[in-house]
Each structure stands twice: as structure tokens, then as C-alpha cells.
Amino acid sequence: MKKYFLKTRISFIRKPMLCILLCLFYVVALFAAKPVTVQSGDISVIKKTSIAQLEFNFSDTKVGNETLDEYKARRGKVFIREWKAIVASTKISLPKFFNSTNKKGMQLTTEAVDASYKFVINVNDFNTGDSFSGTIAGWVNPFHISGKAGGALMIGTIDIIDLKTNNVVCRLNINGIKGKGNISFEHRFQSMFNYLAQTICRMK
């Protein structure tokens, strides 16, 4: 009887431990992979002098088990206004960051100019991050290297479209881009996109 009880108890303990280990393995595997990879086409288009119209596509975005619209509705009117303002400000800040990093290559714009390409960021999965983790990490270790505890995270694709032919000349997979943690959601959001821009500009 004692042997059976001991065996059952060990088995009971092993199951949650196995789940924890599997979750850890998944997280490590996600971030061990390259954050951005080429799905199709030629990444060298980024390095060539051109102008591309920047677009964000949130039409199929999921936040956890909710659609983005469901998530925003649950958060309320204040968050909906905040989201709209943050996306608008990111449409200004992201091209500036991308263009300064990629000075000799493709330049992004949201202005009505004669562009050769369209640069569409399709956000499929999005995690807003949280202010608590980033703040605590800063208190515990003010010199932490990555500073990404509590940062916003996204998974998706990027389509670079030739506007003359309307063909996708390069498609990138966003396998898991995470920005820096911060008490401000706007800071977390823009940090995530800036890290995406930095990663793309360094690709060969």
C-alpha cells in the first residue's frame, strides 16, 4: 500500500513538472530561432535605394484567444483611444528609426509620395507585455542587459510588394519580436517595432 501511495504521489508530481519543462522548452525554442527569416523572395531589395509605403495590417491580429477588436472592446474606450494614438505615432517614429538605420537602402514613408514598393507589416499574434515585469526587473537589476522583461511581443509576416506589378518580391516571417519592457504601453509598442526594424536592416 505504501509503495502504491509513493508511486502515485511521484507520478502526480511528475506531471506538472513535465508540463513546466515542456513550456520552458517551447519558450527557449521560440527565442532561440531567428526573430525574422526570409520565407520567399530576395532580402536584398531592402539594401537597394528605393521608397516604400509603410502599412500596418491588424485585420487578423489575435491577442491571446481574442481578436484585436474583442480585446480592445474589453479594455474599453480609453484603451481604444490610446491604441489609435499609439499606432498613429508609431507610423511616424518607425520610418524615422528604420530610415536612419538603413540610410543607403530602402526608405519607409507614410506620406503620399511616388513609391516603388509597399511595406506591409501583418501582425498575427500580439502580446501587449506588462508594466509590472519591466518595472520590477529594473528595480532588481538596473543594469540588466536586454531589458525585455514585460516587453510587447509579436508574430506575423512582412510583405514587400512591387507597386508596378503588385507582386510580393520578398516575404519575411516574424517569428517572435520582443521589445523592451516599460511602464508605458506606447514605449513597449514602439520598442517592439524598432527592434523589428533593426533586425531587418541587419539581415543579409
Shared-domain flag, residues 22 and 107? no
CA–CA distance, 71 with 76 (Å, rounded to integer): 9
Shared-domain flag, residues 113 and 196? yes
Mean pLDDT over the full length of the chain: 84
Shared-domain flag, residues 9 and 71? no
**Cell triple for residue 198?**
533593426
Instruction: Specify burial of residue 12 (Cβ count, 10 A radius: 0-12, 13-18, 19+).
Output: exposed
Q: What 3-state DSSP class applies to 182? A: coil
Domain of 25 in residue numbering reads as 1-32
Of all helices (H) and strands (E), which one includes residue 38? strand 36-41
Shared-domain flag, residues 116 and 180? yes
Shared-domain flag, residues 111 and 54? yes
- Model confidence at 76: pLDDT above 90: yes
Shared-domain flag, residues 71 and 121? yes
Closest C-alpha among 171, 2, 5, 204 to residue 105: 204
Query: What's the pLDDT score for residue 155?
Result: 98
Better-predicted residue by pLDDT, 3 or 59: 59
- Model confidence at 135: pLDDT above 50: no
49-65: per-residue pLDDT in tens? 999 999 999 999 999 99
What average pLDDT does the segment 115-134 reach? 88
Shared-domain flag, residues 23 and 106? no
In this structure, the strands spanning 51-57 and 107-109 are: parallel
CA–CA distance, 88 with 175 (Å, rounded to integer): 24
Better-predicted residue by pLDDT, 116 or 4: 116
Shared-domain flag, residues 150 and 66? yes
Question: Comparing 52-66, 89-103, 141-155, 184-198, which segment has the lowest mean pLDDT?
Answer: 141-155
Shared-domain flag, residues 185 and 110? yes
Instruction: Specify burial of residue 1 (Cβ count, 10 A radius: 0-12, 13-18, 19+).
Output: exposed
Shared-domain flag, residues 74 and 6? no
Shared-domain flag, residues 19 and 48? no
Shared-domain flag, residues 187 and 147? yes
> Per-residue b/e over 113-145, b at no fewer than 16 CB within 10 Å?
eebbbbbbbbbeebbbbbbeebeebbeeeeeee
Question: Comparing 22-26, 39-43, 61-65, 130-134, which segment has the lowest mean pLDDT?
Answer: 22-26
**Cell triple for residue 19?**
508540463
**Cell triple for residue 136?**
520590477
Place of cell 508574430: 155
* Cβ count near 159 (within 10 Å): 20
Instruction: Indicate the number of domains in the chain.
Output: 2
**Cell triple for residue 57?**
495590417
pTM, 2 dp? 0.78
